[in-house]
Every structure is written in C-alpha cells, then in structure tokens.
Amino acid sequence: MPFFIALALVFVAEMGDKSQLLVLAFAARYPLRVVVPAVLLATLLIHFFSASVGHLAGSVLPMFWTQLGAGVAFILFGLWTLRPEREHADGQGEGLQWGPFLMIAGTFFLSELGDKTMLVSIAVAGQQRSFLAVWLGGTLGMFLADSIALVAGRFLGTKLQPKWIRYGSAAVFMITGVVVLVHLAAGL
C-alpha cells in the first residue's frame, strides 16, 4: 500500500511542477537517449534521499541553503543553456556525452530539493515507515508524470528552431531560479 500511496501522491504533486517544465525543455533540446536516463537517475536519487530522510524522521539539510543553492543553480544553468552548440570539423554536433547528461541530472535533482514532491515522499515515508516502497513508488510516480513532459518536449523539438528552444530553455531555468529566490526572500 505505501508504494501506491507514494506513486499517486507524487504523480499528482509533479503535474505542472517546475521540474516537469525542465524535462519538457530538456526533451525539446536533447535526444531522449540522454534525457531519459539523466531524469531517471536524478529521480531515483531524489526519492532515495527523500525516503531516507522521511524514514529517519529527520532533516539532513537546512531548507534555506537548499533553496538558495537551487535558485542560484537554475540561473547559472539558464546562462549555460544560452551558449550555442559547438560543431566538430566533420559537421557533427559535439556529441551528447557526460556534459549534457550531468547537467540534466544535476539540474533536475536540484529542482527537486525542497520541492513539494520531495516533501510528499518524506511525509509518506515517515507515515508509512516503508523506505523501499516509498522510494520506488515516488520514483515511478514522478517518472510517469515527467514522461508526459518528455513526449511534449520531443514534439516541440521537431517543430521549433534550435535557437528558440535554447532561448526558451534558458528562460525557463532563469525564471525558475528567480522565482525560487524571491519565494525564499519572501519567507525570511
């Protein structure tokens, strides 16, 4: 039962969330062979962390510093996204190896720190006392919700020019960073 509770609550909490918009932007710009494993890895890690914290009924990181780091990171990722893709001498793109994979996984992970889906996983794990079920249920719930954004992002990626995808992605990152920092400042 904790598996299905975590799956349902995280799925609902993720709908329309900033990280779902990030997945859409990533899927529009990068191949799914890079985006899907990066998002899956970050999702596994964030829910592992959340279920662990909830299961131990404690807090590992102060929320202020988590939110501050996430806000600044979003702005930096937005600036990084504005740089044009480089081409090799053979005319091929630079190849999507570890750079985009780590950027996607890191950005997605940071977007979830202190987010409502993380808090849902912590609360469910604390209430249900079932680390493994909450970890796997929360991971699947988030990944299912983000799969909707993957499909939408792939569609947009085929319809828009790469420069507009880059500008849109950068705007999503920077606006998200500003919103996180403004929300943090409002809570002080």
Phi–psi pair at 21, nearest 5 degrees:
-65, -35
Residue 8, SS3 per DSSP = helix
Highest mean pLDDT among 14-28, 136-150, 163-177 belongs to: 136-150
Is there a contact between 154 and 67 (Cβ–Cβ < 8 Å)?
Answer: no
- Per-residue pLDDT of 35-72, as tens digits, reads 999 999 999 999 998 888 776 654 455 667 766 776 78
> What is the per-residue pLDDT for 123?
75
Burial of 185 (0-12, 13-18, 19+ CB in 10 A): exposed
Q: What percentage of the chain carries pLDDT values higher than 90? A: 18
pLDDT at 151 over 80: yes
Predicted structure pTM score: 0.68
User: To the nearest whole percent, how much of the chain has pLDDT over 70?
Assistant: 78
Of 86-95, 120-129, 133-142, the range with the lowest mean pLDDT is 86-95
Question: In this predicted structure, what is the pLDDT of residue 84?
Answer: 66
